[in-house]
Amino acid sequence: MRDFLILIGTVTVSVLFYVITVEPEPIPVPPRGGAGPVQQQITVPDFPEDYNALLELGNEQMDMGRYTIAAEAYKRALAIDPSSVNLRTDFGTCLYGMGLLESAVKEYMLVLKTDPSHAIVHYNLATVYHDLNQIDSARGYWTKYLEIEPEGTAADNSRAFLKQLEGIF
């Protein structure tokens, strides 16, 4: 019995010591004007006016998944040089990342008007059309990607997606 009381006393002292010395985590407070989780603040950079600096900023932000900021940088760069198909492709990818699927399709179609053999745009269009549940279009663009770049970086993925679509009419 004595050992049991010593054990209970030791546990009690340890718990009290922990409660007294450890600071509780603050409870998140919803923003004023509404309930909900506290949003993380994102600092919007000052946008440069130089084309190359805009590209660099867009690429940095896109790599971090900050599609809105990247899209704005790319949009400003496109205002300087609207002929860059790779820039327009990246802009479309940001729109896709933001959930603006129809807008992404429009950008990708502009690329294809200028460069019908731009392989990655075919792959990107297939992905968007798949997300829009337009299976025939997705199938066509993955097939076209493989015609252009049968050993390209997205060839294995394209083949895998096409294999998945075999049973879908």
* CB of 72 closer than 8 Å to CB of 91: no
CA distances from 38 to 27, 28, 30, 34, 35 (A): 11, 7, 5, 10, 9
pLDDT at 82: 93
Q: Record the tokens describing residue 153, joined without a space.
A: 């970086």
pLDDT at 97: 93
Closest listed residue to residue 129, CA positions, set 155, 109, 156: 109
pLDDT at 20: 62
pLDDT at 33: 40
pLDDT at 28: 45
d(C-alpha 9, C-alpha 40), whole Å: 44
pLDDT at 44: 57
Domain ranges of the chain: 46-100, 117-169
pTM of the predicted model as reported, rounded to 2 decimal places: 0.71
CATH number of 46-100: 1.25.40.10
pLDDT at 48: 81
pLDDT at 40: 46
Low-confidence residues of the chain: pLDDT under 50: 25-42
d(C-alpha 105, C-alpha 93), whole Å: 9
**Amino acid identity, residue 129?**
Y
